[in-house]
Structure 1
Amino acid sequence: MKLVYVFDAYCGWSHGFSGTLREVVSRHPGLPVEVISGGLFTGERRVPMSSFSFIEEANTHISQLTGARFGEGYQRLAAEGSFVMDSEAAARGVAALRKTAPDRSAELALALQHAFYVDGHSLSDPATYRQVAETAGLDADLVLAAFQASETKEAAEADFRRTAELGVTAFPTLLAVDGERTVPLARGHATADEVAHRLAPLGITPTS
């Protein structure tokens, strides 16, 4: 049994789910978590933030519902409006971090979301991955080399295909996967207690 977390690093609702994911992982330290990038802003959806008129209202709703914070760095980026959210680049970053520290994938995915939604750092910028890696105590040179490697682009594309194969169409989605069996635990929003309630029938109970 493992958890599969399908998210997008540029998804506000995924940022809002950060607290729930952190708590779920804390309660189930022995339960593996696979992190997959969904590819929200790819192709024709890679446009300036100003093109998404709903962002401010959506973020207010996310904050009210989840308590997630959207920091000053991000607010300045959103207000200026020219920044382009590129989910392919972000997925390469997730893959690079995942390759470097596979057992910390969930923690590092949350760190990436903090880098964008709180600090306002671009997830296309190698400097962001150096900072995340150094803060996490990882070898930053290894992370940057992985981020820029061609196989990491292939890993990002594989994530997008896996998302489709799992039938995931909204982010974030948290699944429990046991062999061929897949059980939805959260889609968009859920509390840690709600996730625990859905895990219980699967024989998964908190250990911390």
Structure 2
Amino acid sequence: MSSTKPIRLTYAFDAFDAFDAYCGWCYGFGPALHEFAAVNADRIELRVLSGGLFTGRRALMDSADAATGLVALRSQPGANALDAAAAMQRAWYVDGRSLSDAAVYRDIATELGLDADAVGAAYVSPAARTEAEADFLQVRRLGVDGYPTLLLHTAHGTDRQGGPVSSADALTRALDQHLAAAAAA
């Protein structure tokens, strides 16, 4: 393990950190992001925030429900937010399950080795919904306007590090370039 402080990154996806569970591009980006995170685990701290792609009275798919599910999952001891997001995407894209159904999150919790009762209780709690809405605001404050987005946090703000067609190797090269530039400064 490196003795230096990990570089902080934020993954925004719609209903999946600066990602949204309902965002097809986020689903496609998932494998590259997982590989990047695994290869660089000792150098990065990855935060997953929901972006809120589909919200409001006219939304047919409710990103707020999916974001609340992510909060319920990631708030459990031993949870990995990126794995939770991927499991949610599998539930939607592969299994065709609703991300507005509390039973889905209980099943995902079991799959991930988390306490299903605690996840179920968290999903229906007002605090989880409030935290999900706070994620939406945080993503907007970070200037994210498309999903998926991977942001690198620096002393000068945030820099976008790749997007839906980036490979794990390209993401690692971008991280290496940032670290080299920071060391030279």
Q: TM-score category by the smaller chain?
A: 0.7 to 0.9
Q: Which of 32, 49, 54 pairs up with 2:45?
A: 32
Matched-pair contact (CA < 8 Å) for 2:97–2:104: yes
The answer (yes or no) to whether the contact 1:130–1:140 under 8 Å persists in 2 is yes
Q: CA deviation at 1:189?
A: 2.5
Partner of 1:120: 96
1:187-202 mapped onto 2 (5 Å cutoff): 187-202=163-178
Shift of 1:180: 4.6
Inter-partner Cα distance in structure 2 for 1:45 and 1:193: 39
Q: Which moved more, 1:121-130 or 1:189-198?
A: 189-198
**For 1:47-66, what aligned pairs fall within 5 Å after superposition?**
47=60
Return the match for 1:17 from 21, 29, 39. 29
Please give the per-residue CA displacement for 1:81-127, whole angstroms capped at 9, x wherever unaligned: xxxx1100000001111111475111111111111111111111011
Letter paired with 1:36: L
Structure 2 match to 1:139: 115
| 1:147 CA drift (Å) | 0.7
Deviation at 1:139, TM superposition (A): 0.4
CA distance in 1, matches of 2:152, 2:22: 23
CA contact (8 A) 1:172 1:189 kept: no
- TM-score normalised according to structure 1 size: 0.76
Q: CA deviation at 1:178?
A: 3.2
Q: CA RMSD in A?
A: 1.5
Would the aligned equivalents of 1:170 and 1:188 in 2 still touch at CA under 8 Å? no
Identity of aligned residues (%): 43
Structure possessing the higher relative contact order (Cα contacts under 8 Å, 6 or more residues apart) = 1
Aligned with residue 170 of structure 1, among 142, 146, 149: 146
Using the size of structure 2 for normalisation, the TM-score is 0.85
Q: CA deviation at 1:187?
A: 2.6
Distance 2:173 2:159 in 1: 12
Give, as a single letter, the amino acid of the residue that structure 2 aligns with 1:23: E
How many residue pairs end up in the alignment? Answer: 167
Paired residue type of 2:147: F
Structure 2 unaligned residues grouped into runs of 5+: 1-6, 14-19, 181-185
- Specify the code of the residue in structure 1 equivalent to 2:8: K
SS at match of 2:98: coil
Q: Distance in 2 between matches of 1:101 and 1:186?
A: 30
Q: Distance in 2 between matches of 1:172 and 1:137?
A: 26
Distance 1:102 1:32 in 2: 15
Using the alignment, how far apart are the partners of 2:57 and 2:167 within structure 1? 33
Label 1:10 to 1:200 Cα distance change in 2 as closer, same or farther (>3 A): same
| Structure with the higher helix share, 1 or 2 | 1
